[in-house]
Structure 1
């Protein structure tokens, strides 16, 4: 265990019971990661489907499965909501009457502003919004991995009313599983994620839908290279979840889509007038931006990929 994870595990010592509502990819990975990090307390899970609850126990992601959300949280010191952002306010309203008065409440949602508003209205300063920047195209407890959050970022979105004890515990949780923790305003988080995560998912889904509807779809399948595979990878993600995320962050997405549409129009104009210089400048800026963020591709790219 590295020093960061050890520090987080030590700070979690005051937490005896963690309730994870929704033990799928993220919730299941969190349970597995906490066990791997040496969390000595008890993890209680809740899944609506009994088969998923059984598998979560069998995989060791939770110590026990509750038969209801209320039963899962009634003895919890820390509650983590791991479901689509659209249903989180309703879930919080259902568990609020039975949550212990000292319990810290958090979530893993990819959209933060609305969730934080609802959480603080119900739990006050005991609610801390969180978003681990980690995932896979697969979903469900079957895809959970204990190392999913290692060396990945996790964004916390506290407000002026957030209790320092609650913030410390949620920070410790994510440090314990190996994440690099950052703090950010909830609204700013949603604007930035619209650009870096939500828009790319929309584009990947639309591209694959375009290919699927092409009259020469079978011929196209024989011509797909690594570039198409890499770009379209995230279109294998759960469409129900991503429709929910898109709607919950619709205002930020609409704004970034308008900017993107303007850029596409500019690109179309350059193509129509055969302005190779404009195309080269645009592509060069994109390449420079990508290399600055991630470094040049170690092996280069095939020119026809």
Structure 2
């Protein structure tokens, strides 16, 4: 691991699960000085202060980022550009702006052109989370043993990249770098598609009207485990679906091919093909455990 990082002042824009957990982890490891929170909801910010996630907060983005060495965007991705415009006057020369958004190409296209040369942007994405949101959902071990992907651009200085890399390493993440396009395609497959499937499955079962009662009430462990992520923030997932549309549609089409194959085998009563389908899936799944 690189030399230990220390961030004198960190501003978290959007103090929820992602931003709050980062702040708690950095504090626990003693690698951050002051943490300043910013958000629209005062009750959530008060909770963050009470939990020790932030040392103080401001609902004014300019005041929140004043003299901050690192600014972390943890709001829904479609808000990044608007938030950046708001906080830009408060950023000091040499400040590093980074984010935790699940989509990278669209974010970079909108945010990077807004920034002057003296402000460095390091796009990032910690691959960690739960279906819960808000400051109360934050916990310091969220990122331990998880991957964090950084997608530096041609404008990203090596020093800024190294600072953000060491920040994520300090909280226990395995940091990798990749291109914007690769990131968005990989995440469309391993994260965005599963969420779309989970949301669709809950709607499909919840809308089944063959019986008067809501059959979701009979759901047991398997259904609940599989659809846990459908309890995630709808605003966040609407934004992700809109900003990573092409890659997501490609993966949804891939899923439709395999689902149609399984449907045809079930319809034809082809047990051998179904067995091979299930066996291949099991082997692929077991290999990642």
Task: Note whether the superposition's TM-score is higher than 0.5.
Answer: yes
- Are 2:251 and 1:259 equivalent residues in the alignment? no
| Partner-residue secondary structure (3-state), 1:136 | coil
Q: Give the match for residue 268 of structure 1.
A: 263
Q: After TM superposition, what 4+ stretches of structure 1 lie above 4 angstroms from structure 2?
A: none
Q: Give the match for residue 223 of structure 2.
A: 228
Return the TM-score normalized by structure 2: 0.94
Where in structure 1 are there 5+ consecutive unaligned residues?
A: 295-305
1:234/1:17 CA distance change after superposition, 3 Å = same
Where in structure 2 are there 5+ consecutive unaligned residues?
A: none
Counterparts of 2:224 and 2:213, CA distance in 1: 16
TM alignment of 1:20-99, pairs within 5 A: 20-99=12-91
Instruction: Give CA deviations for 1:134-184 in whole Å, capped at 9, x if unaligned.
Output: 111111001110111111111111123210111011111111111111111
Counterparts of 2:220 and 2:256, CA distance in 1: 26
Deviates more, 1:273-282 or 1:187-196: 273-282
Deviates more, 1:217-226 or 1:276-285: 217-226
Give the CA RMSD over aligned residues: 1.7
Counterparts of 1:257 and 1:110, CA distance in 2: 17
8 Å CA contact retained: 1:138, 1:237: yes
Q: Give the match for residue 278 of structure 1.
A: 273
Instruction: Give CA deviations for 1:89-130 in whole Å, capped at 9, x if unaligned.
Output: 111122223311110000000111111223322235710011
Q: Give the match for residue 288 of structure 1.
A: 283
1:94/1:220 CA distance change after superposition, 3 Å = same
Deviates more, 1:91-100 or 1:17-26: 91-100
Match of 1:209 among 203, 212, 224: 203
Match of 1:250 among 227, 245, 251: 245
1:87/1:278 CA distance change after superposition, 3 Å = same
8 Å CA contact retained: 1:116, 1:128: no
Q: CA deviation at 1:228?
A: 1.3
Deviates more, 1:113-122 or 1:52-61: 113-122
Counterparts of 1:79 and 1:238, CA distance in 2: 23
- Are 2:101 and 1:114 equivalent residues in the alignment? no
Counterparts of 2:174 and 2:114, CA distance in 1: 28
Q: CA deviation at 1:229?
A: 1.8
8 Å CA contact retained: 1:211, 1:217: no
Q: CA deviation at 1:217?
A: 6.7
1:67/1:222 CA distance change after superposition, 3 Å = closer
Q: CA deviation at 1:35?
A: 0.8
Instruction: Give CA deviations for 1:16-58 in whole Å, capped at 9, x if unaligned.
Output: 2111111111111111111101124111110111111111111
